[in-house]
A and B are shown apart, each in its own frame.
Chain A
């Protein structure tokens, strides 16, 4: 295992507790929606996107048609396209055969942690680093789903509360350390202020819409 994979594993450790907590929620939601346990785990392995999984379980419980459930599962994940577009800039030298496999594990965390690493001066193989982050996040997702399926709604509230704090605190620390210049600060402020209201208006889409809006506004202002 290369030093950069290990570095990625270490960085991924910062978001792993939140991943476990979120996917415990997925496991519980899958139980409530009456999924077979194997299908619950398969949904995390194959889709690996908690918001889409929640949306699909919810729609299935309301007796929507199969095609509608699939469409929602895909549409909620549109953000991955933008994330992969960004990551593709860092993985220029990587053979496409390897990317075919590792593309499956693009998530907000594996993408953002790699993105922030790309901005540091350290000489790092970003693809190895990304793979390290994925080892942590994907494992955490599987473990979380399995726990959720096993315990149902029995997770102590204090533990669940603490675990969900890791992701926002970790990204705050990365933002504090990495945001440079007024344009990046503007993008951060737009993301901070507009995501919650937009998420209320467009459940499941607010984060994506606010981020695209921030990108458009700040890029236009810079030009």
Chain B
């Protein structure tokens, strides 16, 4: 693609994406739809958060992976959850979990 085509592609995708993002904020009838289906949207929100977790743990580059890295990710997650149960501090548990996974991977390699 030429530079001009790239800028057109980015502009077009950005405009379309902005409409999707902004319509529920700016168009009042859509706000009413959101209010009416608040239960549905709550469950969708939980499922999206859960899906992001399982996708990050099990998929890599669009492929299902069950290698050493997957085990290390699960260990990091378990450490973070265990630590959170103990200290109830999300940022600290986050860094301890991710840090322990990095440490294990560094030691193995």
- Asked if A49 is at the interface of the complex by the 8 Å CB criterion, the answer is yes
Which single member of A39, A166, A174, A199 contacts B10 (CB below 8 Å)? A39
From B3, B17, B31, give the contact of A88 (CB < 8 A): B31
Say whether chain B's binding surface is mostly helix, strand, loop, or mixed: helix
The closest CB in chain A to the CB of B91 belongs to A14
CA distance A85 to B36 in the complex (A): 11
Q: Is the CB of A85 within 8 A of B24?
A: yes
* Complex CA distance for A183 and B12, rounded to whole angstroms: 39
Q: Residues of A within 8 Å of B, CB-based: how many? A: 93
Known: A87-B25, A183-B43. A162 touches B101 (CB 8 A): yes
A177 to B84, CA, bound (A): 9
**B106: min CB distance to chain A, Å:** 6
The range of chain B's interface size is 35 or more
Assess the B54–A191 pair: CB atoms within 8 A: yes
Interfacial residues of chain B within 11-54, with CB under 8 A of chain A in the complex: 11-14, 16-18, 20-26, 30-31, 33-35, 37-54
A89 lies within 8 A of B34 (CB): yes
Cα–Cα, bound, A104→B48 (Å): 20
Given contacts A88-B30, A168-B52, contact A81 B23 (CB under 8 A): yes
Is B71 positioned at the interface, with any CB of A under 8 Å from its CB?
no
A interface footprint on B67-99 (CB within 8 Å = 1, 0 otherwise) = 001000100110011001000001101100111
Which residue of B22, B40, B59, B77 contacts A103 across the interface (Cβ within 8 Å)? B22
Most central of B1, B12, B49, B94 by chain A CB within 10 Å? B49
Residues of A within 8 A of B44 (CB): 82, 86, 187, 211-212, 214-215
With a cutoff of 8 Å between Cβ atoms, the chain B residues found around residue A191 in the complex are 46-51, 54
Q: Is A190 engaged at the interface, CB distance under 8 Å to the other chain?
A: yes
CA A219 to CA B105, docked complex, whole Å: 41
Q: Which residue of A lies closest to B7 (CB)?
A: A39
Q: Is the CB of A206 within 8 A of B21?
A: no
Q: Judge whether B93 and A173 touch: CB under 8 Å.
A: yes
Task: Establish whether residues A168 and B73, one from each chain, have CB atoms under 8 Å apart when the complex forms.
Answer: yes
